[in-house]
Amino acid sequence: MSFIDLPLPMPRRGAYGPQRFWKEYSMNVQTVGIVGAGQMGNGIAHVFAVAGYNVLLNDISQDSLDAAVALIAKNLDRQVQREKLTAQERDEALARISTTMTLTDLGPTDMIIEAATERETVKTAIFEDLVPHLKPNTILTSNTSSISITRLASRTDRPEKFMGFHFMNPVPVMQLVELIRGIATDDETYQTCLGVVERLGKTAASAEDFPAFIVNRILMPMINEAVYTLYEGVGNVSSIDSAMKLGTNHPMGPLELADFIGLDTCLAIMNVLHDGLADTKYRPCPLLTKYVEAGWLGRKTSRGFYDYRGEAPVPTR
Ligand code: CAA
The angle formed by the CA atoms of residues 144, 148 and 152, to the nearest 5 degrees, is 80
- pLDDT, residue 200, reads 97
State in Å: Cα 170 to ligand 1 middle: 5
| Cα-trace Rg, the chain | 20
What is the distance in angstroms between the CA of the first residue and the CA of the last residue of the chain?
45
Taken in order of first residue, the domains within the chain and their CATH numbers are: 3-207 (3.40.50.720), 217-315 (1.10.1040.10)
Three-state SS at 233:
coil
State in Å: Cα 234 to ligand 1 middle: 29
Residue 83 Cα distances to 79, 92, 97, 219, 224, angstroms:
6, 16, 22, 32, 38
- Nearest alpha carbon, ligand 1 atom 53: 145
Q: Which residues are catalytic?
A: 145, 166, 178, 216
67 CB near ligand 1 (under 6 Å): no
Q: How confident is the model at residue 23 (pLDDT cuts 50, 70, 90)?
A: low
- pLDDT, residue 14, reads 37
Q: How confident is the model at residue 25 (pLDDT cuts 50, 70, 90)?
A: low
257 CB near ligand 1 (under 6 Å): yes
Minimal CA–CA distance to 259: which of 74, 39, 66? Answer: 39
pLDDT digits (tens, 9 = 90+) for 97-140: 999 999 999 999 999 999 998 889 999 999 999 999 999 999 99
